């Protein structure tokens, strides 16, 4: 097998030619590889750089810091508190089950909570945090610190949580926070935008109404993550914006006092500035601690709140509907005077009952008041007189006046979604809604605040305020906004309105027509003749400060605190003839059948600034149950007035 | 047999040492250093198992190569068929009794190390063919018998490697073998015919492929069809290389690799890691080093007097070129993903050993370039 020289040369030639061809091919292919590298790394670099960043960077939204609520004096009433949470990252724990059993005994976790945590652990990736507790109590925290060196992997973490330093005092105004539900997220753009798991949002009250202002914006933490989603290191931390702080018109001290006054009772108190409409206090009793809902309410707590016969969940001030009883009488009297139906001198003899159209109508005073004029009738709350007055007036004219003074309509413009309008009946209303014609006897009942008429406590407060300020439309408010006008401005505008009215001859308001209020035309005049208002106010003075007045016992003689008011006792049940004969004491009647006690008042009498309404459910008579509360409260409110003025004037200077 | 071989006048040791190809050695050392540094980077800037192991293997096999360089080409020629036979036996053993890992059976457990005979086959086939064509007369190359024997020799190992299954290695063995056949002067028309028949039988061959291999081919044509599954490697590799840019992200700063988006970064995708960190410039330099390496091997072949030496050098140089191109084209998304290491750079003992043996034979051809083999 020895190759001859010739074939050797041929072999060498062939291989040289072939290797030359193959080398050319190699050069071409290498050039192709370089071209591909060039196109990926130079031409399309940006595209792939973006893709690579998308791979490695993940953003974590941090919970936004919620805006705070402060009262008129700047006291925090809903704030943010630093709380300790307990986090465990299973990946960093050597023996998870051991740690959990230790934590269970240390923190005294229930079996239910324990199994929930275990379930959560099995669902998550091992490097994802498990929150063992969102809100460690002080004793839990200190106990935990004692054993922390033995609890590898348990981390107490500082976090922010809502806190309500006044506990149950503001619950019905502010509402409460709880975990955002799916419907919360769907219905609110701002919640959707800022949502992070575990976010707490307002469920009711102002916390809900002002959600989009309060919520703030997320902080963002940018992390580098590996292919399995584990955070490797923090790249960026953008701080979020805290939500807007909201200042309320409420004086926390008054609010607290109001709560004390109502403790153990079911009822409502509203206090209002009669010029600016600032709400000084707004409370519904009983209340509950809003913090209960923050971390999910326990079954026992929820049961005790829901099954409480005094209905703590109901915001009685704006959603509770009550017959106004005799507190409506100033409006009936005013309506009758404005419509020239009666004169103040008209006299009616009260014998304790009156026979009309075949029915018998009783006055609250069985023996009768004897001869009464209008002032005495208001002062002594004579029902017989008002049967006669309302008979002459008719329900439709009363309806106009009552509505003009704020009954039968929302007091707050959308602040409380669950606010009730109440009802001021008219013949038309009955025909349309019940399909039956109006019966005259119903007019008489409406005239003493019984029957169909239904009002909320805050409506009664507004009604009283609008009487007390001389008959001008005001706008109750809980917060300060751009439309806010100071006391001096409001008073000045009201004064100007009065001048305008005096100067114009055709400016008479038709008392039978409802007013249409526009935002431009503020502080609308509600009366035809201001003398009529003054008369009613004077009669209310008599009711509180003169002998035989229904709330005479609750008067304050010091002119600094002197107030005027009107009692009301709303029947819950029709009084039968037998019961009337028995004349039972309040304590002898079953709780659910006792009358509601009402009281409306304004003061100080000489220069009124505040109006209030008090409703005590099933409290008995207004003079016994409600008026004494007004006495205490007025003293308190007036004492706080000076402080309030200082703040007000300081702010004026600043502007 | 080789004592009477065609060569008179012994070289002294120092003469031999001097006639080593230092350009070639320099390139190999450079690649060794670059690969060790890349291993270090693949472990997140720590000297761990892969870095140590790779460095040790490189050092041992580099020394082995130097020692083996002093073996004459006539020795390799003499044991050519035996070498092929031994590797073939190992291959059969591996295919039947080998260590199973990730669904394939391609390793023999030698207790201190796992040997992959299919990698050695890449060299053995070249040695074998070089001997075959050295001995055959040019007139017999294109005869039926002359054509059939190499085809049978080539097909037997390929069938075993395919059955392991290891598509990547079998393709590389086939390409290396075909390259030698081409170099030795088989007529172009036969290549043309076989290419044609390959295309015609392609559907049949594809039907024989394992499902995962089919998926890989489909994925190559459209990586986006399954971005988290089979297309993941191609997509992540392209992202890594593309995001490297002109100068790269910097040493130890390749986010795709250290955040573990990049699969198999020690082995098949080592170039991706290198390219992400050192960019177009770095990759280009690496390609130049390989180009010099191949150029030196071809040059040694050209200077070799024996036909065996020539054919081996040309064949081996072309094989190295094919390994590089297949690997790079794969990580650049130009061909489907098949397991194919980058010579010297990739982690893997058998591949390194095979490459070093090949280089040692080339080096032998350099030292004894005047030697003729009967």
Chain A residues closer than 8 Å to B301 by CB: 19
Note whether B242 contacts A49, CB cutoff 8 Å: yes
Instruction: Collapse the DSSP code of A409 into the 3-class scheme (helix H, G, I; strand E, B; otherwise coil) and give the result.
Output: coil
Of A34, A356, A298, the C-alpha closest to B241 is A34
Sign, Cα dihedral of B136, B137, B140, B141: positive
B337 dihedral zone (left: phi>0; alpha: psi -120 to 50; beta): beta
Cβ–Cβ below 8 Å for B318 and A26: yes
pLDDT at A89: 80
Per-residue b/e over A282-320, b at no fewer than 16 CB within 10 Å?
bbbbbbbbbbbbbbebeeeeeeebeeeeebbebbbbbbb
Closest CA to A54 of B333, B243, B269, B276: B243
pLDDT tier, A63 (very low <50, low <70, confident <90, very high otherwise): confident
* Range of lowest pLDDT (A484-493, A512-521, A579-588, A635-644): A512-521
The reply to whether B231 touches chain A by the CB within 8 Å rule is no
Q: What is the mean pLDDT of residues A279-298?
A: 91
Query: How confident is the model over B292-323, as pLDDT tens digits?
Result: 999 999 999 999 999 999 999 999 999 999 99
Q: What is the reported pLDDT for A227?
A: 84
Residue of A nearest to B179 (CA): A22
Q: Given an 8 Å threshold on Cβ–Cβ distance, is B185 in contact with A11?
A: yes
Most confident segment among A73-82, A516-525, A643-652? A73-82
**Among A56-70, A395-409, B92-106, B115-129, whose mean pLDDT is lowest?**
B92-106
- For A496-516, what is the mean pLDDT? 66
- pLDDT tens digits, residue range A142-181? 888 888 888 877 878 778 889 899 999 999 999 999 988 9
Contact of A647 with chain B, judged by CB distance below 8 Å, is answered with no
**Residue A305 near residue A298, CB atoms below 8 Å:** no
**Inter-residue contact B226 to B336 (CB < 8 Å):** no
- Quote the tokens at residue B330: 């794969």
Higher pLDDT among residues A536 and B110, named by residue: A536
* Contact between residue A474 and residue A276 where contact means Cβ atoms under 8 Å apart: yes
Least confident of A484-493, A519-528, A605-614, B10-19: A519-528
Give the helix/strand (H/E) hosting A362. Answer: strand A359-362
Q: Please list every residue in chain B whose beta carbon sits closer than 8 Å to the beta carbon of residue A52.
A: 239-240, 242-243, 255-256
Averaged pLDDT for residues B13-42: 93
Mean pLDDT of A380-401: 94
Phi, psi of B193 (to 5 degrees): -65, -45
Structure confidence at residue B4 (pLDDT): 46
Contacts of A40 in chain B (CB under 8 A): 238, 241-242, 332
Burial B184-216 (b: 16+ CB within 10 A, else e): bbbeeeeeeeeeeeeeeeeeeeeeeeeeebebb
How much is the pLDDT for B5?
46
Which tokens hold the place of A624? 């016994």
**pLDDT value at A30 more than 70:** yes
Which is higher by pLDDT, A103 or B54?
A: B54
Q: Which residue is listed with tokens 């001096």?
A: A488
Rounded mean pLDDT, A441-451? 93
In a 13 Å sphere around the CA of A109, the CA atoms on its Cβ side amount to 24
Half-sphere exposure of A55 (CA within 13 A, CB side): 28
Which residues have a Cβ under 8 Å from the Cβ of A382 and sit 6 or more positions away? A348, A350, A363, A365, A369, A372, A376
Structure tokens at A178: 């709880």
DSSP β-bridge partners for residue A131: A87
* Predicted pLDDT at A506: 46
The pLDDT-based confidence of B8 (bands split at 50, 70, 90) is: very low
Is the pLDDT at A295 greater than 60? The verdict is: yes
Q: Is A226 on the interface with B (CB under 8 A)?
A: yes
Please report the pLDDT score of residue A568 as a whole number. 94
| Minimal-distance CA residue of chain B relative to A18 | B183
Radius of gyration of chain B (CA): 21
Higher pLDDT, A271 or A149: A271
Confidence of residue A235 (pLDDT cuts 50, 70, 90): confident
Which residue's entry shows tokens 């044509």? B221
Most confident option among A458-472, A518-532, A566-580? A458-472
Q: How far is residue A616's CA from residue A265's CA, in Å, rounded to a whole number?
A: 7
Mean pLDDT of A187-201: 88
Exposed/middle/buried for residue A651 (C-beta within 10 Å: 0-12, 13-18, 19+): exposed
Tell me what pLDDT residue A507 has.
44
Q: Is the pLDDT at A196 greater than 70, yes or no?
A: yes
Distance of alpha carbon A204 from alpha carbon A184, whole angstroms: 11
CA distances from A498 to A401, A487, A508 (A): 19, 17, 12
To the nearest whole percent, how much of chain A has pLDDT over 90? 60
Confidence of residue B228 (pLDDT cuts 50, 70, 90): low
The domain ranges of chain B are 13-367
Partners of A267 in the beta sheet?
A285, A616
DSSP, res B210:
-
Nearest Cα to A497, choosing from A518, A515, A522, A532?
A: A522
In chain A, the domains with their CATH numbers are: 60-247 (3.90.1310.10), 252-287+313-509+529-654 (3.40.710.10)
- Per-residue model confidence (pLDDT) at position A73: 92
Half-sphere exposure of A175 (CA within 13 A, CB side): 18
Q: Which of A70-79, A398-407, B208-217 has the lowest mean pLDDT?
A: B208-217
ipTM score assigned to the predicted complex: 0.92
pLDDT attached to residue B6: 44
Nearest CA-CA distance, residue A14 and chain B, Å: 6
What average pLDDT does the segment A361-387 reach? 92
Cross-chain Cβ contact B238/A227 below 8 Å:
no
Q: What is the mean pLDDT of residues A198-209?
A: 91
How far is B186 from A101, CA to CA, in rounded Å? 78
Rounded to a whole number of angstroms, the distance from the CA of B9 to the nearest CA of chain A is 22
Q: Give me the residues of B, 288-307, that contact A with CB < 8 A.
A: 291, 294, 298, 301-302, 307
Min mean pLDDT across A560-564, B82-86, B252-256 is at B252-256
Residue B159 has pLDDT above 70, yes or no: yes
pLDDT for B295 equals 96
Output the pLDDT for position B226.
66
Distance from CA of B95 to the nearest CA of A (A): 34
B311 — contact with chain A (CB < 8 Å)? yes
Cα(A401)–Cα(A335) distance, integer angstroms: 6
Contacts 24+ apart (CB under 8 A), A467-470: A467/A330, A467/A331, A467/A334, A467/A405, A467/A533, A467/A536, A467/A537, A467/A540, A467/A602, A468/A274, A468/A537, A468/A602, A468/A608, A468/A611, A469/A274, A469/A275, A469/A494, A469/A608, A470/A494, A470/A498, A470/A530, A470/A533, A470/A534
Question: What integer best gives the mean pLDDT of chain A?
Answer: 89
* pLDDT given at position A2: 47
Q: Alpha-carbon distance A227 to A48, whole Å?
A: 16
Q: Residues A568-605, buried b or exposed e (16+ Cβ, 10 A)?
A: bbbbeeeeeeeeeeeeeeeeebeeeebbbbbbbbbbbb
- pLDDT of res. B2: 46
Of residues A38 and A518, more confidently modeled = A38
Higher pLDDT among residues B214 and B86, named by residue: B86
Q: Which two tokens stand for residue A214?
A: 């309060």
Q: Output the average pLDDT for chain B.
A: 89
Mean pLDDT value of segment A317-325: 95
Please count the residue pairs, one from chain A and one from chain B, whose beta carbons lie less than 8 angstroms apart. 127
Chain A nearest CA to B245, separation (Å): 4
| Predicted confidence (pLDDT) per residue in B327-368, tens digit | 999 999 998 888 889 999 999 999 999 999 999 999 999 999
Which helix (H) or strand (E) element contains residue A57? strand A57-62
Question: 73-102 in B: which are within 8 Å (CB) of A?
Answer: none
CA separation for the pair A210, A487 (Å, rounded):
25
* Residue showing tokens 């009402």: A598
C-beta of residue B270 within 8 angstroms of C-beta of residue B346: yes
Query: Is 60 exceeded by the pLDDT of residue B276?
Result: yes
- Nearest-Cα distance to chain B for A229, in Å, is 9
Q: Write the DSSP symbol of residue A62.
A: E
Pairing of strands B99-101, A279-285: unpaired
Alpha-helix runs per DSSP H in B185-267: 188-208, 211-221, 232-244, 255-258
């Amino acid at each position: 097998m020895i190759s001859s020289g010739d074939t050797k040369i041929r072999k060498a030639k062939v291989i040289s030619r072939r290797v030359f061809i193959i080398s050319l091919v190699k050069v071409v292919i290498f050039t192709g590889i370089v071209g591909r590298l060039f196109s990926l790394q130079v031409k399309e670099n940006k595209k792939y750089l973006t893709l690579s960043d998308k791979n490695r960077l993940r953003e974590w939204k941090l919970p936004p810091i919620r805006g705070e609520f402060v009262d008129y004096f700047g006291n925090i009433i809903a704030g943010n508190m630093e709380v300790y949470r307990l986090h465990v990252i299973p990946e960093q724990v050597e023996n998870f089950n051991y740690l959990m059993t230790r934590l269970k005994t240390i923190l005294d976790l229930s079996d239910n909570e324990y199994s929930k945590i275990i379930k959560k652990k099995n669902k998550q990736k091992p490097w994802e945090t498990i929150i063992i507790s969102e809100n460690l109590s002080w004793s839990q925290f200190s106990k935990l610190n004692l054993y922390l060196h033995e609890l590898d992997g348990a981390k107490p973490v500082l976090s922010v949580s809502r806190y309500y330093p006044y506990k149950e005092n503001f619950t019905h105004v502010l509402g409460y926070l709880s975990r955002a539900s799916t419907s919360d997220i769907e219905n609110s753009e701002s919640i959707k935008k800022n949502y992070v798991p575990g976010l707490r949002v307002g469920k009711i009250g102002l916390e809900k109404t002002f959600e989009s202002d309060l919520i703030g914006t997320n902080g963002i933490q940018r992390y580098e993550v590996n292919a399995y989603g584990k955070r490797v290191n923090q790249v960026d931390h953008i701080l979020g914006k805290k939500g807007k702080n909201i200042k309320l018109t409420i004086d926390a001290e008054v609010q607290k006092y109001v709560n004390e006054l109502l403790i153990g009772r079911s009822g409502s108190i509203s206090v209002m500035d009669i010029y600016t409409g600032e709400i000084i206090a707004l409370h519904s009793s009983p209340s509950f601690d809003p913090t209960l809902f923050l971390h999910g309410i326990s079954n026992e707590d929820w049961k005790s709140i829901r099954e409480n016969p005094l209905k703590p969940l109901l915001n009685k001030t704006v959603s509770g509907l009550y017959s106004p009883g005799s507190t409506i009488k100033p409006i009936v009297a005013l309506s009758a005077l404005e419509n020239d139906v009666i004169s103040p001198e008209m006299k009616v003899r009260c014998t304790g009952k009156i026979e009309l159209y075949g029915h018998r109508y009783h006055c609250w005073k069985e023996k009768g008041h004897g001869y009464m004029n209008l002032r005495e009738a208001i002062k002594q709350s004579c029902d017989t007189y008002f049967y006669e007055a309302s008979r002459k007036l008719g329900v439709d004219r009363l309806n106009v006046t009552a509505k003009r003074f704020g009954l039968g309509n929302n007091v707050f413009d959308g602040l409380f979604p669950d606010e009730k309008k109440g009802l001021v009946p008219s013949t038309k209303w009955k025909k349309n809604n019940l399909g039956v014609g109006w019966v005259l006897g119903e007019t008489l009942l409406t005239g003493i605040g019984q029957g169909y008429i239904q009002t909320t406590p805050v409506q009664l407060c507004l009604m009283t305020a609008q009487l007390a300020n001389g008959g001008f439309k005001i706008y109750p408010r809980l917060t300060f906004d751009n439309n806010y006008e100071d006391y001096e401005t409001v008073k000045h505008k009201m004064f100007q309105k009065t001048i305008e009215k005096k100067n114009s001859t055709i400016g008479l308001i038709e008392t039978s027509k409802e007013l249409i209020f526009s935002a431009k035309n503020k502080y609308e005049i509600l009366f035809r003749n201001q003398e009529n208002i003054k008369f009613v106010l004077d009669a209310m003075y008599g009711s509180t400060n003169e002998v035989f007045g229904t709330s005479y016992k609750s008067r304050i003689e010091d002119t600094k605190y002197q107030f005027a008011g009107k009692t009301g006792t709303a029947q819950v049940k029709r009084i039968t003839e037998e019961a009337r004969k028995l004349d039972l004491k309040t304590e002898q009647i079953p709780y659910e059948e006792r009358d509601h006690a009402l009281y409306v008042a304004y003061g100080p009498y000489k220069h009124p600034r505040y109006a209030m309404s008090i409703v005590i459910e099933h409290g008995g008579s207004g003079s016994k149950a409600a008026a004494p509360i007004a006495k205490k409260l007025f003293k308190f409110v007036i004492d706080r007035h000076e402080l309030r003025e200082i703040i007000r004037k300081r702010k004026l200077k600043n502007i | 047999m080789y004592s009477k071989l065609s060569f008179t006048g012994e070289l002294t040791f120092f003469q031999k040492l001097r006639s080593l190809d230092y350009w070639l050695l320099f390139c190999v050392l450079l690649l060794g250093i670059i690969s060790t540094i890349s291993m270090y980077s693949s472990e997140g800037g720590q000297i761990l198992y892969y870095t140590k192991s790779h460095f040790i293997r490189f050092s041992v096999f580099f020394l082995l190569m130097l020692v083996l360089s002093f073996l004459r080409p006539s020795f390799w020629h003499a044991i050519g068929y035996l070498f092929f036979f031994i590797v073939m036996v190992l291959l059969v053993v591996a295919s039947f009794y080998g260590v199973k890992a990730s669904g394939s059976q391609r390793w023999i457990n030698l207790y201190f190390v796992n040997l992959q005979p299919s990698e050695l086959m890449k060299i053995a086939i070249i040695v074998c063919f070089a001997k075959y064509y050295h001995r055959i007369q040019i007139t017999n190359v294109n005869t039926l018998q002359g054509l059939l024997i190499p085809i049978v020799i080539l097909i037997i190992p390929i069938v075993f490697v395919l059955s392991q299954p290891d598509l990547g290695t079998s393709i590389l063995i086939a390409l290396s073998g075909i390259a030698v056949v081409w170099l030795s002067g088989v007529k172009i028309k036969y290549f043309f015919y076989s290419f044609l028949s390959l295309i015609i039988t392609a559907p049949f061959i594809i039907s024989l492929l394992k499902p995962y291999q089919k998926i890989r081919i489909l994925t190559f044509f459209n990586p986006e069809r399954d971005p988290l599954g089979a297309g993941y490697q191609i997509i992540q590799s392209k992202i890594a290389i593309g995001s490297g840019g002109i100068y790269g992200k910097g040493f130890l700063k390749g986010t795709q690799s250290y955040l573990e988006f990049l699969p198999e970064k020690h082995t098949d995708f080592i170039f991706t890691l290198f390219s992400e960190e050192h960019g177009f410039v770095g990759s280009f330099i690496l390609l130049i080093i390989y180009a010099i390496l191949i150029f030196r091997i071809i040059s040694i072949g050209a200077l070799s007097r024996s036909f065996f030496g020539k054919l081996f050098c040309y064949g081996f140089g072309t094989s190295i070129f094919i390994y590089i191109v297949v690997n790079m084209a794969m990580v650049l998304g130009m061909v489907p993903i098949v397991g194919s290491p980058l010579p010297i750079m990739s982690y893997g003992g058998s591949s390194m050993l095979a490459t070093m043996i090949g280089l040692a034979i080339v080096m032998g051809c350099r030292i004894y370039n005047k030697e003729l083999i009967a």
